[in-house]
Amino acid sequence: MEQFNPSARRDQFGSKINRDHSPVLAYGIPWVMILLASLSPLLPIIAPLPILPPLGYLFLLAWRVLRPGLLPMWAGLPLGFFDDLFSGQPLGSGILLFSLTMIALDLIEVRFPWRGFWQDWGIAAIFVTLYLFLATLFSGSGLPLVQYPIILPQLALAVLLFPVVAQLVALLDRMRLTRVRKIG
Amino acid sequence: MAPPSAQISGSNKKAQLGRFAGYVFASVGAVIGALLLIISLWRPDAFYGLRSMATDAASPVGEAGAVTRTGSRSFFEAIAGYYDAGNKNAELERENEIARVRLAEMRALEQENARLKAVLNLRDSEQPPVAIGRLIGSSSASTRRFGYLSAGRNDGVAVGMPVTSPMGLVGRILETGRTTSRVLLLTDPESIVPVRRAVDDVVAFAEGRADGSLRIRLINLGINPLEEGDIFVTSGAGGLFRPGVAVAMVTQITNDGAIGQLLSNPAATDFVVVEPIFEPEAIEAADTPLQIEQPVDGGTPTADSESD
């Protein structure tokens, strides 16, 4: 009797026989993760100054950079809206910045199709910097320009956290394509 | 890593159209966002209902977090009992800190009493609290300083009510949901509290600086009488906050006042108390527009009506 290679029936996403990817998982996990990250203001951290990185935005960046094409271009509208409901920013600031990010990342991708870890991190750092600056500008707090350095600790934390978020997203990305659906 | 080939439209007409539509949708999203942003900057209270509804819906998450915070603290305290000395020291230090604040408040109250006795027919300022709740979160990623409180309209909380902790003033209610409400913390740049020095009558405004400290601006300019370590309490002016609640301690002297450190760090509080508005009549009177004589004939308006 012919002997099959035992690993031919499996790959990193599980058994190939009688199992298939679940569309709910495959398309839902990015959305759910970004929405959950947007809920971070409800963490029991009562900060006297802005210190927590904008987790919702970081997750959006990470998903978009790691898996281009998975989130549709219009994803900035609903995700930004949800983020605005909890972030304390005036409604619309998240929608605008998330949407602009989706467009800008797409344009960058057309320009530089080949990417690597350092380039991804660099792009994320630039985007987070712009995001935090503009979010402070749009926050309606009327903060004078000399006080803008108060976002620096938050910015440093966000930039340093991005590789961690990207690792987490990569982990979830493998989970996303697990074959859990039974066929037949 | 190269992008997946689905991203490259090439000469595929359908893919090209799809990409174009994507850009259009994203741009429409950005335009909607910009419009909403303009509306909410122009009318900051335009979307209060929407936001408080969302916070209501998601508050179980925050409440669970807050309970866990308290629960885990007692758990860790039990373990920390073995390493008692340093811990006890910190505890005593904190108690001492509270005691110092209390002392300052008492001095302020004493003085307040003396003043009230001098002016007869003033009503008692002691009122029972409206509600007691937990701070379940804060806008820790935004420059605005909002806190989320686990008590809302159902508990009798209304917009404008002061929120205090045993250490002093925390902020005031900005918007209310059914079971949660949003608190404007003292350190928000929009927050201004009328204060006075606890030991005498140096009056000032305490403005938030968004970085955890308060700018104390004296009303009577001249020689700056402040010193480091001065404690400021609410003065009761404006009618929102009852007088004599501790607000800030001066840490740095500036030209027109001082920079103060917040006394009731909201991060360190478990429970906060929502108090009724001190003088609701005064607030109502301030809200109703003044009746100004209108010019009878359509001539030039008088100086009175212009200055409003």
pLDDT tens profile A94-103: 999 999 999 9
**What distances in angstroms separate CA B258 from CA A82, B108, B206, one per listed residue?**
39, 20, 9
Average pLDDT over residues B76-84: 55
Model confidence at B303, pLDDT cuts 50, 70, 90, reads very low
pLDDT tens profile A159-174: 999 999 999 999 999 8
Residues 92-111 of A with CB under 8 A from B: 92-100, 102-103, 106, 109
Asked if residue A109 has pLDDT above 70, the reply is: yes
Nearest CA in chain B to A78: B29
Binary contact (B29, A80; C-beta < 8 A):
yes
- Let me know if residue B153 belongs to a domain: yes
Asked if residue A119 has pLDDT above 60, the reply is: yes
Binary contact (A90, B44; C-beta < 8 A):
yes
Q: Does B49 touch chain A (CB under 8 A)?
A: no
> What integer pLDDT is reported at residue B308 of this predicted model?
42
Average pLDDT in chain A: 88
- Let me know if residue B77 belongs to a domain: no
Nearest CA in chain A to B34: A96
- Let me know if residue B305 belongs to a domain: no
> What integer pLDDT is reported at residue B32 of this predicted model?
92
Q: Does A87 touch chain B (CB under 8 A)?
A: yes
DSSP B208: E
Q: Does B234 touch chain A (CB under 8 A)?
A: no
Q: Going by DSSP bridges, is the β-strand pair B162-165/B168-176 parallel, antiparallel, or unpaired? A: antiparallel
E strands present in B190-280 = 192-197, 203-208, 213-218, 231-234, 246-254, 257-262, 271-274
pLDDT tens profile B18-66: 888 889 999 999 999 999 998 888 887 777 778 888 888 887 766 766 6
- Let me know if residue B145 belongs to a domain: yes
Model confidence at A16, pLDDT cuts 50, 70, 90, reads confident
pLDDT tens profile B147-187: 888 888 888 999 889 998 888 888 999 888 888 899 998 88
> What integer pLDDT is reported at residue B300 of this predicted model?
47
Residues 120-139 of A with CB under 8 A from B: 135-136, 138-139
Binary contact (A52, B212; C-beta < 8 A):
no
Binary contact (B142, A87; C-beta < 8 A):
yes
The CATH number for B155's domain is 2.40.10.340
- Let me know if residue B28 belongs to a domain: no
Average pLDDT over residues B104-120: 77
- In 3D space, the residue among B99, B93, B262 whose CA is nearest the CA of residue A46 turns out to be B262
Q: Does B38 touch chain A (CB under 8 A)?
A: yes
Asked if residue B299 has pLDDT above 70, the reply is: no
With a threshold of 0.85, tell me whether the complex ipTM lies above it. Answer: no
Number of folded domains in chain B? 1
> What integer pLDDT is reported at residue A63 of this predicted model?
94
Chain A residues within an 8 Å CB radius of B192: none
Nearest-CA distance from A4 to chain B in Å?
31
- Let me know if residue B122 belongs to a domain: yes
Print the domain residue range for B211: 96-280
Chain B residues within an 8 Å CB radius of A68: 3-4, 7
Asked if residue B120 has pLDDT above 50, the reply is: yes
Name every residue whose Cβ is closer than 8 Å to that of residue B234 and which is 6 or more positions away in sequence: B169, B193, B194, B195, B196, B241, B242, B243, B244, B245, B247
Average pLDDT over residues B81-100: 76
Average pLDDT over residues B296-301: 50
> What integer pLDDT is reported at residue A56 of this predicted model?
94
Asked if residue B266 has pLDDT above 90, the reply is: no
Cα atoms in the Cβ-side hemisphere of radius 13 Å centred on A158: 32
Name every residue whose Cβ is closer than 8 Å to that of residue B117 and which is 6 or more positions away in sequence: none
Average pLDDT over residues A70-81: 92
- Please tell me the least confidently modeled range out of B64-78, B191-205, B274-288: B64-78
Asked if residue B305 has pLDDT above 80, the reply is: no
> What integer pLDDT is reported at residue A83 of this predicted model?
93
Average pLDDT in chain B: 79
To test the contact with chain A by mutation, choose from B67, B142, B146, B169 the residue with the greatest count of A C-beta atoms within 10 A, namely B142
pTM above 0.80, yes or no: no
- In 3D space, the residue among B194, B208, B133, B158 whose CA is nearest the CA of residue B52 turns out to be B158
- Let me know if residue B88 belongs to a domain: no
Model confidence at A127, pLDDT cuts 50, 70, 90, reads very high
- Please tell me the least confidently modeled range out of B58-62, B91-95, B290-294: B290-294
Nearest CA in chain B to A80: B33
Residues 73-132 of B with CB under 8 A from A: none
pLDDT tens profile A34-52: 999 999 888 877 777 788 8
Residue B270 three-state SS? coil
Model confidence at B211, pLDDT cuts 50, 70, 90, reads confident
Q: DSSP letters of chain A?
A: -PPPPGGGGEETTEE-SSEEE-HHHHHHHHHHHHHHHHTGGGSS---SS--S--HHHHHHHHHHHHSTTTS-GGGHHHHHHHHHHHHSSPTTHHHHHHHHHHHHHHHHHHH-----HHHHHHHHHHHHHHHHHHHHHHTSS---GGGGGGGHHHHHHHHHHHHHHHHHHHHHHHHHT-EEEEP-
Binary contact (A80, B33; C-beta < 8 A):
yes
